[in-house]
Amino acid sequence: MKHFGVILLFILFVVFIVFYWKQDSKYGADLQENLALSDAQVVLPEEAELAGDELVGDTNLMPQGDGYEIAEEDLSVSLQTKQEAYDKLDLRVKELKSKFLEASFEFIQGKHQFSFPYFERFAKFDGEDKKDIVYASLGYDVNVIKTLETMINKVDPNVPSYLSGLDKGIASNLLDILYNVTYYVREVALNNHLNFFNLDKIKNNDAITVENIVAINVYLETLIKLRENLILKLKQHISLAGSKSDRGAMEVELRKILDLKGDIRLTLGKIMVMTKSIEDLINVQFSNVQSESK
């Protein structure tokens, strides 16, 4: 019986590793595809090692015109020990994960009923967990979600787009954006890159400096702020589009969300880049240690 318990734990461990490997592979493929649609540039690992003003000085990564300024204390590392910097990061990660869970739980408790037959055709809306990601990108605002529901249900997948109440391409691209706004922050940055195992590595790996940890924290705070700003803009555009009785006027408003050169797509590109930069900041340390040990 004792050996059975050990074998069971081993099997569960293997399953867990395989699951996260598949998640990483899916994330990598999705990231490459989405970055290809934007002008965003990934920060190289050696560049990501820079901290303080050098790290956040790249205006291509920082939010522009979103009313967000990084506080000086966020960049200060001179008075922090590694343990203090880590404790701050660890506490913030726990706070953010708890905040996301509480918001999701509160929304579920409302037992709201929505129907998106057209969205159901896509993997990004397949299952309650996927739908939750989309709803979270609208701040779980029931009225805005209902407005989105009304517009999306104008799509008739059985006829050409010009005969449908809403262009199918607009609807599917809108779903991609709504999904990615929360996916890259909540699922990738927080639940994947800053999971329990990676936080433990950050804490115990001597190669990781105070500057590295502060840099990760700065990226994380910026991600959260960018996402909050996107939620406000998405709600505004969707609400305004829903108020239009004319299809043309409605689609003009929705295209502002989809515009490759528009604020929303550019900000989403920054989010994807910062998420990748967090991953590189963590992984480059371990690759350096492996190289030194050879």
| Model confidence pLDDT, tens digit, residues 196-254 | 999 999 998 888 888 999 999 999 999 999 999 999 999 999 999 999 999 999 999 99
Residue 8 lies in a domain: no
Q: Whose CA is closest to 224, among 191, 182, 259, 266?
A: 182
Tell me if 6 is assigned to some domain: no
Sign of the C-alpha dihedral computed for residues 181, 182, 184 and 189 taken in this order: positive
CATH code of the domain in which 116 resides: 1.10.3160.10
**Environment class of 104 (CB within 10 Å of its CB; exposed 0-12, middle 13-18, buried 19+):** middle
Residue 266 lies inside a defined structural domain of this protein: yes
Residue with the bigger pLDDT between 251 and 76: it is 251
Number of domains in the chain: 1
The percent of residues above 70 in pLDDT, for the chain, comes to 69
Is 181 among the domain residues? yes
Residue 19 lies in a domain: no
Give tens-digit pLDDT for 148-197: 999 999 999 889 888 899 999 999 999 999 999 999 999 999 999 999 99
15 occurs within a structural domain: no
Domain limits for position 276: 37-293
Indicate whether this model's pTM tops 0.75.
yes
What local confidence, expressed as pLDDT, does residue 3 receive?
56
What pLDDT score was predicted for residue 283? 81
